[in-house]
């Protein structure tokens, strides 16, 4: 198999794919694929509730929160968050740390009043602003952050602890490290990086937030619709939720989030070490204290050398290393399912490649 460093959709654990393959034609002796089960059947109900229960267990989600399985990607949450939680006289506060935060803010502006509470835009998003530099507006409805910036390769390592409901887009680092869910009022994440294939979006919402949702929202865009129906108001993305349940079982087998976090740190360290030991040949985009353990971004001395690097990497079976156009260079996305061996092989290749130019 390829060494898959794609930013999303991204690698899935091989054992999960194998199990899905084994069960594909006949799911638990039903004589049907899981894709063919009615979403009102007891067999599907078990899959659905198992996914929910496993996520609750792995992330230590208290009973005071609900877990929703929605569609529309994390991008729809950019709109749903303000539609549900930004009342007329209040202000949605946003910390800008990259392209996804900007998109979240853009959608909120269409719904209500907003305020940029901190930003690292002036430095092309090379760092995460200090929690001490966050300036909330008056009447703040919530503070929205992007916990990991997929494109720029930066990540929050200390979350703001302010007297305001904290909302996080965790699309690219959910389940990659231990977090205290109670620090957040709402967490959302598209599944296609650490949770499974694309098609399902997870929302973890503190129950009291459901009480402040305005009336008259379109039914499908109202969190209450999905909360009261156990995310079965309409046909859910059943296959994606099934795959999510398999990925969560895999995380549990690995020793849970704590063990995954330890391995993620080792994976990221081996690549960052190759960068730091390169005498500036590989130049990291992110400042040291803001480095992401999920997306490692770096540039090479010239566009020509970058092209050569990517071409040789491809020959060696490394896929998905081209950086996003707004950063240039390279990006290695090393989500939970990317094995340590892939990161070690990449680091080794980086060292060998550099020798050509010594």
Q: Give residues in contact with ligand PLP (CB under 6 A).
A: 8, 73-75, 100, 146, 150, 169, 171-172, 190
100 is a catalytic site residue: yes
Long-range contacts of 117-124 (CB under 8 A, 24+ apart): 117/93, 117/143, 119/95, 120/96, 120/154, 121/96, 124/152, 124/326, 124/327
We find the least distance from the C-beta atom of residue 151 to ligand PLP, in angstroms, to be 7
Q: Which residue, 90 or 333, has its beta carbon nearer to ligand PLP?
A: 333
> Is there a binding annotation on residue 146?
no
Given the residues 52, 56, 193, 267, select the one marked as catalytic. Answer: 193
> Is there a binding annotation on residue 74?
yes
250 is a catalytic site residue: no
We find the least distance from the C-beta atom of residue 192 to ligand PLP, in angstroms, to be 6
We find the least distance from the C-beta atom of residue 122 to ligand PLP, in angstroms, to be 20
> Is there a binding annotation on residue 235?
yes
> Is there a binding annotation on residue 100?
yes
What tokens does 321 get? 């290393």
* Residue written as token pair 């994976």: 267
Order of all β-strands in the sheet with 330-333: 283-284, 295-299, 330-333
Q: Which residue, 67 or 300, has its beta carbon nearer to ligand PLP?
A: 67
Q: Say how far apart CA 200 and CA 88 lie, in whole Å.
A: 30
Q: Say how far apart CA 203 and CA 188 lie, in whole Å.
A: 4
What sign does the CA torsion over 47, 49, 50, 52 have? positive
We find the least distance from the C-beta atom of residue 273 to ligand PLP, in angstroms, to be 25
We find the least distance from the C-beta atom of residue 103 to ligand PLP, in angstroms, to be 7
We find the least distance from the C-beta atom of residue 41 to ligand PLP, in angstroms, to be 27
State the Rg of the chain over Cα. 21
Given the residues 52, 56, 156, 169, select the one marked as catalytic. Answer: 169
> Is there a binding annotation on residue 150?
yes
Of the candidates 241, 253, 248, 226, the one whose C-alpha atom is nearest the C-alpha of residue 46 is 241
Q: Which residue, 168 or 346, has its beta carbon nearer to ligand PLP?
A: 168
What tokens does 289 get? 């204290």
Q: Which parts of 179-317 are beta strand (E)?
A: 186-190, 201-206, 283-284, 295-299
Q: Which residue, 74 or 118, has its beta carbon nearer to ligand PLP?
A: 74
Per 3-state DSSP, what percentage of the chain is helix, strand, and coil (rounded to 5)?
A: 40, 15, 40
Give the rounded distance of the alpha carbon of 51 from its chain centre.
Answer: 17
Q: Which parts of 88-147 are beta strand (E)?
A: 91-96, 113-119, 140-146
> Is there a binding annotation on residue 71?
no
314 is a catalytic site residue: no
Annotated binding site: 40, 74-75, 100, 150, 169, 192, 234-235
Annotated binding site for L-glutamate: 40
Annotated binding site for pyridoxal 5'-phosphate: 74-75, 100, 150, 169, 192, 234-235
Active site amino acids: 100, 169, 193
């Amino acid at each position: 198999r390829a060494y898959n460093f794609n930013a999303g959709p991204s690698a899935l654990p091989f054992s999960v794919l194998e199990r899905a393959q084994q069960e594909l034609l006949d799911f638990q002796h039903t004589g049907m694929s899981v894709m063919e089960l009615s979403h009102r059947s007891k067999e599907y109900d078990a899959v659905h509730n198992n996914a929910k229960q496993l996520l609750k267990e792995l992330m230590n989600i208290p009973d005071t929160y609900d877990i929703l399985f929605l569609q529309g990607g994390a991008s729809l949450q950019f709109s749903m968050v303000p539609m549900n939680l930004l009342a007329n006289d209040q202000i949605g506060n946003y910390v800008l740390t990259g392209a996804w935060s900007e998109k979240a803010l853009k959608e909120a502006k269409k719904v209500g009043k907003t305020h940029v509470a901190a930003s690292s835009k002036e430095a092309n998003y090379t760092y995460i602003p200090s929690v001490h530099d966050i300036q909330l507006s008056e009447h703040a409805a919530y503070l929205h952050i992007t916990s990991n910036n997929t494109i720029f390769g930066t990540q929050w390592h200390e979350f703001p602890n302010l007297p305001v409901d904290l909302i996080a887009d965790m699309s690219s680092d959910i389940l990659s490290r231990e977090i205290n869910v109670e620090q957040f009022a709402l967490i959302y994440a598209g599944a296609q990086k650490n949770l499974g294939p694309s098609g399902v979006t997870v929302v973890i919402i503190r129950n009291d937030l459901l009480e402040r949702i305005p009336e008259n929202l379109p039914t499908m865009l109202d969190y209450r619709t999905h909360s009261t129906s156990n995310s079965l108001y309409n046909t859910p993305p059943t296959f994606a939720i099934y795959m999510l349940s398999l990925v969560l079982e895999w995380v549990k087998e690995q020793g849970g989030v704590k063990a995954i976090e330890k391995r993620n740190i080792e994976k990221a360290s081996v690549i960052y070490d190759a960068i730091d030991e390169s005498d500036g040949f590989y130049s990291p985009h992110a400042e040291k204290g803001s480095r992401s353990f999920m997306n490692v971004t770096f540039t090479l001395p010239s566009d020509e050398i970058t092209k050569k690097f990517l071409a040789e990497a491809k020959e060696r079976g490394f896929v998905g290393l081209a950086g996003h156009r707004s950063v240039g260079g390279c990006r290695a996305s090393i989500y939970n399912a990317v094995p340590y061996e892939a990161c070690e092989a990449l680091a080794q290749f980086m060292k060998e490649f550099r020798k050509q130019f010594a």
